[in-house]
Structure 1
Amino acid sequence: MSTEISAAAQALQRAMPVTRLLDCGMDYADAIALHARTAQGEPWDMAAEALAEAQFARAGQAERAGHPVTARDAQEKAIACLLFAQMAYNDDTPRKRQLYARLSAATRRLAGLSELPVERVELPFNGARLIGWLVRPAARAARGTVIVFGGQSGWGMAYWPIARQLAARGLATLLAEGPGQGETRLEQRIHVDVDMAAAYRCFVDRVVGDPSLGRAGIWGNSVGGLWAASTAAADPRIAACCVNGALAAPSLLPFRTFVEQAAAMLGSADLDAVAANFVRMRFDARRDRIGCPLLVIHGGADPLIKLADQQPFLDAALPALGTLKVWEDGEHTIYNHAAERTVFVCDWFADRLDQAG
């Protein structure tokens, strides 16, 4: 087997650095092994799935031995492996669908192991359904609920570690798979050619329609930050909004992975159509005003997003309600300071949602 890393493996390792793998809940040993095995020529999806298999075996052994905490921990780590296994494919191939279906089944299984109540959410939209996972704090009503989602590739259970931190603060989390994401795209065929704010308002409806969930916050990561800001501007029921590493005026960035993912989200290989749809979704601070507290976080070493790309979100906020937090050496969405980032934002939401009540 060649010791020279293929261009394909290098591209996947750049898109999914160890910092990102850890951020989304992968075990450190698995993250190191995934990079090492793919550097040696093993296909990314197969290596990641094999690591998931080992964690599933751990979970089963622990459950049979009467160790539910260990079983839950291994199940969580297996899900993280599957999350990154399916990211080997930008297009909606049968293999990607198969891996994501397995991830969803594993999440259903986690719901039976977790000490946190976990509920699958399916919300009608445009003749199909938006998919999500509602994670409640253990044994008490929520002080509020944060709708959390990603962008072009990090979806749903990628934010399980964030949900756990929010639960520790008495907050629920709705892990939303919006248009162009996760099962909502792969199985329900909902793409980003729809009214994005209207789609995310369905998740807001789910939160505010349940008194036990408290007030709604919204937290969008990467491209998802654009939709979080747009939804906050369109829906006064949102009590707090966080934008993490987003483009207010998205465009086709000069990276093959970004372009392929953007096309898959729209369900079209026509790049002119992708570019036009980005223009349609653009955030305009003169039109889109955000009335709730807004937190924008930025990484100074982000290769995709400049601080100026996020300035329109801050411009749209009321002067006393907009906050900017910068990690000068931060990678995209602050992968490399994930623990500090997560607790900072979770504390921020806990403070604002309590005040909103």
Structure 2
Amino acid sequence: MTGIHRPDGGSNAPIEVLWRAMPVTRMLDNGVDYADVLAMQRSTADGIAWDKAAERLATAQLERARAAVRDGHPVTAFAAYRAAAADLLFAQMAFNFDSARKRSLYEAFTDAVGRAAALADPPWEREYIPFAGGLMNAWLLRPATEPIGAVIVFGGQSGWGAAYLPQADALLRRGMAVLLAEGPGQGESRLRHRILLDVDVRAAYSAFVSRALSVAPRAGLWGNSLGGLYAATTAAADRRVSAVCVNSAPAQPRLQPFRTFVDQAAAMLGTSDADAIQVNFDRIAFRPGVDRIGCPLLVLHGGADPIVHLDQQQPFLDAAHDATLRVWEDGEHTIYNHAHDRTAYVADWFADQFTAQQPGT
């Protein structure tokens, strides 16, 4: 099997590789201000390193937020802190392995989210969920009214937790609570608490389900990219899950011929042994004919996705008695290029599922 690049702690990927891994559509989907996207393009074209260019943009947004707080404009401050967090999210993505620089940038990202959290109404809550001798992190967002359900939203190899704040906005507006999860191998769960992808992944996300059910009567899972696999396997193992959305995930993951994918997979598992990574992928894979999804399932697919093909998602559909497939023929991976339509569609779908499951409905 192909060897894995050494975790030297630095990003030496050419700028065009970084732009392929983090295209404009993805940046907008994860909340980067469009003016910052344009500035990022100019800076990287001028030879400024990806992480430094994004960090400078975040610094400007943080200054804007602090000025708004001083002037008594909390709404503006809230938006600016979120914009800064999005810039820092992409700054740390320049580094696949857990270098000091990546940790520092991710801490700054978390701090910016925390400052926005304090200004939210209701304020967002930082969650620490015990698991496997450590802690898994999440952000809990509650609607202003009693929630009809709670959706746990998470990513795969590089987009984690508060990266999905725009999706949380849509769910909150429809009366749902949201748990933005950092699971095994993700975010601070990995960077600070060293919970890697070698644990019982189904049990890990079931721990998030338990937390969601403590604040709402029903729990749903929305997994993006490889996180969609975790969502499907958890729904198959945990009958408390009321609805599950799989967004562009392979049922049986394999190492991809892309350096970014390989390095990120190595960091999540904590090993540079390619065979060990594939063995772990096999361990956490969806099991056709064995795993059954008893709750409503929504599968999203992009026809232009270079990473996941539709036949790789078919096992999820075959395993559910109530399955819906939505395809965007020109859709990129996780449907970045139709973000507003995708997010509204999924949020409406979860609201419909929770409403239909209310007593007396």
How far apart, in 2, do the equivalents of 1:120 and 1:291 lie? 31
TM-score, length of structure 2 as denominator length: 0.95
Could you say which residue in structure 1 is the equivalent of 2:7? none
Q: Deviations over 1:306-337 (max 9, x none)?
A: 0001000001100xx10000000000000000
Could you say which residue in structure 1 is the equivalent of 2:81? 75
Could you say which residue in structure 2 is the equivalent of 1:105? 111
Q: Deviations over 1:178-216 (max 9, x none)?
A: 000000000000111111000000000111133xx2200
How far apart, in 1, do the equivalents of 2:357 and 2:225 lie? 26
Give the counterpart of 2:20 among 14, 25, 36: 14
Alpha-carbon shift at residue 35 of structure 1 (Å): 2.3
Check the 8 A contact 1:34/1:47 in 2, yes or no.
Answer: yes
Which residue identity lines up with residue 68 of structure 1 in the other structure?
A: P
How far apart, in 2, do the equivalents of 1:156 and 1:109 lie? 15
Gaps of 5+ in 1: 1-5
Which residue identity lines up with residue 228 of structure 2 in the other structure?
A: G
Asked if 1:356 is matched to 2:357, the reply is yes
Alpha-carbon shift at residue 31 of structure 1 (Å): 1.1
Alpha-carbon shift at residue 117 of structure 1 (Å): 2.8
How far apart, in 2, do the equivalents of 1:116 and 1:314 lie? 37
Check the 8 A contact 1:226/1:243 in 2, yes or no.
Answer: yes
Check the 8 A contact 2:150/2:213 in 1, yes or no.
Answer: no
- Return structure 1 stretches of 4+ with deviation > 2 angstroms: none
Which residue identity lines up with residue 162 of structure 2 in the other structure?
A: M
How far apart, in 2, do the equivalents of 1:115 and 1:58 lie? 20
How far apart, in 2, do the equivalents of 1:263 and 1:39 lie? 30
Secondary structure of the structure 2 residue equivalent to 1:302 = coil
How far apart, in 1, do the equivalents of 2:41 and 2:276 lie? 35
Asked if 1:258 is matched to 2:257, the reply is no
Q: Deviations over 1:79-118 (max 9, x none)?
A: 0000000000000000000111111111221111112430
Check the 8 A contact 2:296/2:320 in 1, yes or no.
Answer: yes
Which residue identity lines up with residue 323 of structure 1 in the other structure?
A: T
Give the counterpart of 2:236 among 225, 233, 258: 233
Alignment of 1:94-173 (within 5 A): 94-138=100-144, 140-173=145-178
Which residue identity lines up with residue 120 of structure 1 in the other structure?
A: R
Give the counterpart of 1:243 among 239, 242, 246: 246
Identity %: 60
Alpha-carbon shift at residue 7 of structure 1 (Å): 5.9
Could you say which residue in structure 2 is the equivalent of 1:3? none
Secondary structure of the structure 2 residue equivalent to 1:250 = coil
Could you say which residue in structure 2 is the equivalent of 1:315? 318
Asked if 1:214 is matched to 2:217, the reply is yes
Could you say which residue in structure 1 is the equivalent of 2:3? none
Give the length in aligned residue pairs.
Answer: 347
Check the 8 A contact 2:155/2:161 in 1, yes or no.
Answer: yes
Check the 8 A contact 2:152/2:181 in 1, yes or no.
Answer: yes
Asked if 1:25 is matched to 2:31, the reply is yes
Q: Deviations over 1:267-321 (max 9, x none)?
A: 1011110011111111112111000000000000001010001000001100xx1
Could you say which residue in structure 2 is the equivalent of 1:195? 200
How far apart, in 1, do the equivalents of 2:38 and 2:336 lie? 16
TM-score, length of structure 1 as denominator length: 0.96
Could you say which residue in structure 2 is the equivalent of 1:343? 344
Check the 8 A contact 1:13/1:35 in 2, yes or no.
Answer: no
How far apart, in 2, do the equivalents of 1:277 and 1:65 lie? 52
Alignment of 1:253-332 (within 5 A): 253-318=256-321, 321-332=322-333
Check the 8 A contact 1:136/1:173 in 2, yes or no.
Answer: yes
How far apart, in 1, do the equivalents of 2:118 and 2:286 lie? 40
RMSD: 1.0
How far apart, in 2, do the equivalents of 1:7 and 1:345 lie? 34
Alpha-carbon shift at residue 352 of structure 1 (Å): 0.2
Check the 8 A contact 1:18/1:32 in 2, yes or no.
Answer: no
Which residue identity lines up with residue 39 of structure 2 in the other structure?
A: A
Check the 8 A contact 1:121/1:132 in 2, yes or no.
Answer: yes
How far apart, in 1, do the equivalents of 2:189 and 2:159 lie? 13
